[in-house]
Amino acid sequence: MITDAKRAAGRAAAEFAREGMILGLGSGSTILFALERLGERIRKEGLSLRGVPTSRATREAALKAGIPLVEPHEVDRVDLCIDGADEVDPNLDLIKGGGGALLREKIVMTASLERIVVVDPRKLVPRLGEKFLLPLEVLPFGWSFTAGEVRKLGAEPMLRKKEEGDFYLTDNGNYILDCRFGGIQDPPGLERELKGIPGVLECGLFVGLAGRVLVGKEDGSVEELVRPGLNPSPGGPGRPPVPGE
């Protein structure tokens, strides 16, 4: 049932892609359905686009789907970013990083003109960080000192490890600290404080970045949540705004 919800959200997001776009391709299980639909549109509609993947796993899945890829330095813009989230609050602020790609994801999302986040209903929460741990990508050198500074902010940081017990490494070769806060009262303020700690390369708080959140439902329908100032899509989720309207 949750798979049906993820499929609905991911495939709806792919309908926002238009001819000639540069797409930021996020990471996670819901994104796989967006890649699947983008590949279908390329084959059936002759849609021309290029993607900037945010992880090695996404790169492999995108190539398998038949999506042409480019490196970030090879393009001067990203038109649309499609990404997932681990939590979404009522302000459409996010926690991301469960898959370990938060640094690359934030770089690409920040560089994008439009940003769509795809989730299933379980990801909607009244307050960030009450259940999901906040990931931080940190430099391996001195990581224990970095964790100590994070602890001063009221967190319980834990170094992420793989199932076999080895330290988890991001695609950038860094560590992840998963931090328990027990609820985050001020996401923008906490993001600033965490980013000010030496050794913290990026924080899993994505504040003010999501433009639209597509929430897939188990019956295959999709609810569109829109940040104030943006217009809902004409005809409902998955029906992208026409340029100039």
Distance between CA atoms of 172 and 87, rounded to whole angstroms? Answer: 23
Phi, psi of 203 (to 5 degrees): -115, 145
Buried b (16+ CB within 10 A) or exposed e, 64-101: ebebeeeeeeeeeebbbbbbbbbbbbeebbbbbbbbbb
CA 127 to chain centre: 18
Q: Is 50 exposed, middle or buried (0-12, 13-18, 19+ CB in 10 A)?
A: middle
15, 121, 131, 202 from 240: Cα distances, Å: 7, 22, 33, 31
**What is the 3-state composition of the chain as percent helix, strand, coil, each rounded to the nearest 5?**
30, 25, 45
Cα separation, 61 vs 53, whole angstroms: 10
Q: Is residue 105 annotated as a catalytic residue, yes or no?
A: yes
Residue 104's nearest CA partner among 66, 152, 58, 164 is: 58
Q: Which amino acid is at 158?
A: M
Q: Which of 87, 105, 114, 191 is catalytic?
A: 105
CA 174 to CA 171: how far, in whole Å? 8
Q: Which residues are catalytic?
A: 105
